[in-house]
Amino acid sequence: MSEAEWLNALAHRTVELSGLVLAIEERFDVGMIDLRILPDDTESLAAAQRVLGIALPGEARTSTAGDGFTCLWFSVDQWLVTCDRTRTQEFTKSLSKALEGHFASVTDVSDMRAVIRLTGDAGRQVLMKCMSIDILSKEIRPGYVRRVNFGEIAGALRMVSNEPDCFELYVFRSYASYALDWLEEAARESAAIGKPFGPSPAPPV
Partner 1 sequence: MLLLICPVCGAEGDETDFQYGGEAHIARPASSTPEAVSEADQYAYLHVRANPKGLHHEQWLCARGCGKWFNATRDTVTMEFKAFYKMGEKPPRTPRTRSAKP
Partner 2 sequence: MTVLPHRLAEAALGGQAGRLIDRTKTIRFTFDGKTMSGFAGDTLASALMANGVRVVGRSFKYHRPRGLLGLGSEEPNGLVTIGEDNRLEPNVRATQVELYDGLTARSQNRWPSLQFDVGEINNRFSRYIPAGFYYKTFMHPRAFWKHIYEPVIRRAAGLGPAPKEADPDRYEHVHIHCDVLVVGGGIAGLAAARSAMEAGARVILADENSRLGGVSDLNDEKIEGENALAWISKTTEELAASETVHLLTRTTATGHFDHNYVVMCERVCDHDPARLKNGAPRHRLWKVRTKEVVLATGSIERPIAFADNDKPGVMLASAVRGYIARYAVTPGSAAVLFTNNDDAYRTFTALYDAGVTLTRIIDSRPAPDSILTDKAKALGIPLSFGSGISSVKTEDGGKCIAGVSVTSLTGGGGLNRPIGAECDFICMSGGFNPAVHLFSHGGGKLIYDEMLQAFRPGETRERIRVVGAANGVFETAKILAEGISAGWSAARDALPKGAVKGRAPRPPKADAQPISPSEPVWFVPAHGEKNEGNKHFLDFQNDVTVADVELANREGYRSVEHVKRYTTLGMATDQGKTSNINALGILSEALGKTIPEIGTTTFRPPYTPFSFGAFVGPVRGKLFQPVRRTPVQSWHEDMGAEFEPIGQWRRPYCYPKGSERRSDAVKREVMAVRNAAGLLDASTLGKIEVRGPDAGTFLDLIYTNTMSTLKVGRCRYGLMLNDSGFLFDDGVTVRFADEHFLVHTTSGNSDHIGGWLERWHQTEWPHLKVFMTPVTEQWAQFALAGPKAHAVLEALESDIDFSGRAFPFLSFKAGRLAGVPVRVYRISFSGELSFEIATPAGFGQYLWTALMKAGEGFDIAPYGTEALHVMRAEKGFIAIGDETDGTVTPLDLGLSWAVSKKKKDFIGKRALELPDLARNDRRHFIGLLTEDPQRVLPEGAQAVADPRARPPHRVIGYVSSTYFSPTLERSIAFGLIERGRERMGETIHFAVGGTMMPAEIVDPVFYDKEAERQNV
Binding residues for partner 2, per CB under 8 A? 1, 3-9, 11-12, 19, 34, 36, 77, 103-105, 107-113, 128-129, 131-137, 151-153, 172-178, 181-182, 185-186, 188, 190-191, 193, 196-205
Q: Distances from the Cα of 26 to the Cαs of 60, 114, 122, 123, 153, in angstroms? A: 26, 7, 18, 15, 18
- Cβ 151 to partner 1, closest distance in Å? 12
Which one of partner 1, partner 2, none is in contact with 174 (Cβ closer than 5 to 8 A by kind)?
partner 2
Name which of 42 and 149 has its Cβ closer to partner 1: 149
Residue 161, number of CB atoms within 10 A of its CB:
12
Q: Is 18 exposed, middle or buried (0-12, 13-18, 19+ CB in 10 A)?
A: exposed
- Cβ 67 to partner 2, closest distance in Å? 25
- Cβ 146 to partner 1, closest distance in Å? 7
Name which of 55 and 154 has its Cβ closer to partner 1: 154
Q: How far out from the chain centre does Cα 48 lie?
A: 21
Name which of 21 and 116 has its Cβ closer to partner 1: 116
Residue 95 host element (H or E): helix 88-98
Spatial separation of the C-alpha atoms in residues 106 and 130, rounded to whole Å: 31
